[in-house]
Structure 1
Amino acid sequence: MAGKAGHFVTDHASLLKACADGDKSALQQLMLAEGGRMLGVARRMLRRADLAEDALQESLVLIWRKAHQFDETRGSAKGWVYAILRNRCLTMLRREDREVPVSPGTLGEVLDDTTHQTILDEAFERLGTTSDLRQCLQSLEPGTRRAILSSYVLGYSHGEIAGHLGAPLGSVKSWVRRGLLKLRECLS
């Protein structure tokens, strides 16, 4: 619909209703109409481009999943969309406040190989004995399992994993790639 000076006016309420009905193109239209502004709001709130992009993506997923909850008698659709973005950003800021930044050199000192292995073992043990994920992880070679757990539990890069395992970087990358493929296959 055309608005002032021929500018296109987005009917946010109709797009949210279409999202609730499963119309993926409606979410795409909403992203095209508001994505740039939403990213700008997220950048101002989070002061980090990478977090802002994550917030935008997570917000769009939430909008898609919760579109059926929108009630135009309680407020505007555009306001609802930005409330979701704002709440996601605030959640991310709270999470950032709880994280204590540690330099990579210090992290290496804090997590020696014994501590590293203990953390991975504890994470693995927290999975229930009947858990599908645990059973699939057990089916992997020990080095592959340790590489995947190091990546997902400790957030290590391939290079950091290679350093801890004393293995070539290329080997670690292929272990993780093949291991994830096996996990996907096992869990499906």
Structure 2
Amino acid sequence: MSPNPPLADLARARLSGALIAVGRGDRAALAEVYALTSAKLFGICLRICRDRDDAEDVLQAVYVKVWQRAGRFDPARASPITWLATIARNSAIDRLRATPVRNAAPIEAAQQVPDERPLADSVIEEAEQQHRVHLCMSELEARARAAISAAFFGGATYAQLAEREAVPLGTMKTWIRRGLLQLRACLGRD
């Protein structure tokens, strides 16, 4: 055997020693076990429970069980992380089994569920409106079209646009106001 044991062996020995100390009632050792293993055990609980709140509750119960059962831990029979993971896994499964299963509605109830999609005539009307907006936007002067698009579709402020175009803020507001008036007139035509 090499004079310097691998880190994994050192970690296993440290965790085993902490569990043995927990078995003797050492609270500081329980805090060390928690610090060394809580992330891994929480991952196990979360994967099984699929709900963060439930997984947190299960994890708390796991460490209560560790406190109560650490005296039974035998490092010759199992690695400490395997022993802890088994407690976490079984506790999470027990939690799932204790949770009542929600009753599903009969298949006939599906007929009563409304279809949230818009009606076809609404979709067609909206598409026509979008087409008109695009046509009217294309009729605007290039700088007004770009400013309106950036302000109303891109979320840019008038001040940002004025700075971007290197014009006074009042000029940018005028471009946009005139463009919106032209857009309104265009959209109002039949």
Q: Which has the larger radius of gyration?
A: 2
TM-score, normalisation: structure 1: 0.48
Q: Which structure's relative contact order is higher, taking Cα pairs within 8 Å and 6+ residues apart?
A: 2
TM-score, normalisation: structure 2: 0.47
